[in-house]
Structure 1
């Protein structure tokens, strides 16, 4: 059985920056497809630098449409996070607008199994 700390006792309390990206009207999936390679190159560079913790499209939910997405950043300040978000090729192309939120992560668990023999992984 897992031992649980007292509520509020040993929470992570680590700050990240959550970027909620909303497509601008009247953009279409084809508009985003034209800039996807640049967007992915940009994101993978930031991931390699340790700036991007997680990122991906929103695929359902209220107001979700092609180009909706969320990115979680490691940044020094709100201004730094905003500069990063504004450099997204989708934003530069005028396809979507980012909103930046300071997000204090307290709870959660990530389980990753890496197989050295097969070069595979599983994320639970």
Structure 2
């Protein structure tokens, strides 16, 4: 049998990944040295900090910090990105005031050319 090629999504998680199967509510914090996968939402007032990637099978409306410790290759993937603050490594961003765009596809945030960019996620490696 030949060696299977990992999909891009499979490359986002590894053995150092924690799975959280609940919605995080205001005041709840997750800090993890590795990747974090959440099946649920990250509500306003909740915080997720990871040295690796953050994947949310739901909406991000709180604070997320991927690549804590300086990993600029880290990313945040979510069904809906509406964070109060989003950080990747040392880069910080927040949504513009009055933005009401609600994409109907998952979104991915990552560093491109030194800036946090948010794009529709199509499952393919880009860049």
Q: Same fold (TM over 0.5)?
A: no
Larger radius of gyration: 1
Q: Determine which structure has the larger helix proportion and give its number.
A: 1
How high is the TM-score relative to the length of structure 2?
Answer: 0.25
How high is the TM-score relative to the length of structure 1?
Answer: 0.25
Q: Determine which structure has the larger strand proportion and give its number.
A: 2
* Greater relative contact order, per chain length (Cα 8 Å cut-off, separation 6+): 1
